[in-house]
């Protein structure tokens, strides 16, 4: 089953991620850092995806996903991210969860699952 979000452009949701973070005193740069960590994109690649209005399905298909993303656990929108069966939806939920953690004031090292 294909979800509506898969066909949505990443560019249409990106400003919402930034707004959520900025409302809590965090920055666009921190949002970008999270996205780059998760996807393996360079800043230029990320900006190209935003400019090209790449849909979520293509965005994640082209990503070099960080293996440490499996360490992301917890709930977002009432759903446990580690239990999401659909692989693409799980990647989207991972991103949602990371932005949530940023907005909640978590330290970047914790958000990026950096070993102590």
Q: What's 80's domain CATH number?
A: 1.10.8.290
pLDDT score, position 114: 86
The total number of structural domains that make up the chain = 1
User: What tens digit of pLDDT does each residue of 53-75 get?
Assistant: 999 999 999 999 999 999 999 99
pLDDT score, position 4: 87
pTM to 2 decimals?
0.93
Q: Is residue 115 part of a domain?
A: no
Q: Is residue 88 part of a domain?
A: yes
Instruction: Tell me which residues of the chain have a pLDDT lower than 50.
Output: none
Q: Is residue 21 part of a domain?
A: yes
Domain that holds residue 64: 4-110
Integer Cα distance of 57 and 73 in angstroms = 22
pLDDT score, position 3: 83
pLDDT score, position 8: 94
Q: Is residue 69 part of a domain?
A: yes
């Amino acid at each position: 089953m294909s979800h509506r979000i898969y066909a949505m452009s990443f560019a249409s949701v990106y400003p919402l991620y930034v707004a959520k973070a900025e409302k809590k005193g965090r920055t666009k740069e921190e949002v970008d850092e999270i996205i780059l960590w998760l996807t393996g994109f360079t800043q230029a690649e990320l900006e190209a995806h935003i400019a090209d209005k790449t849909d979520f399905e293509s965005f994640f298909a082209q990503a070099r996903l960080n293996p440490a993303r499996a360490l992301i656990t917890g709930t977002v929108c009432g759903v446990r991210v580690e239990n999401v069966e659909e692989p693409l939806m799980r990647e989207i939920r991972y991103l949602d969860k990371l932005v949530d953690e940023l907005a909640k004031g978590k330290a970047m090292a914790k958000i990026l699952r950096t070993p102590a």
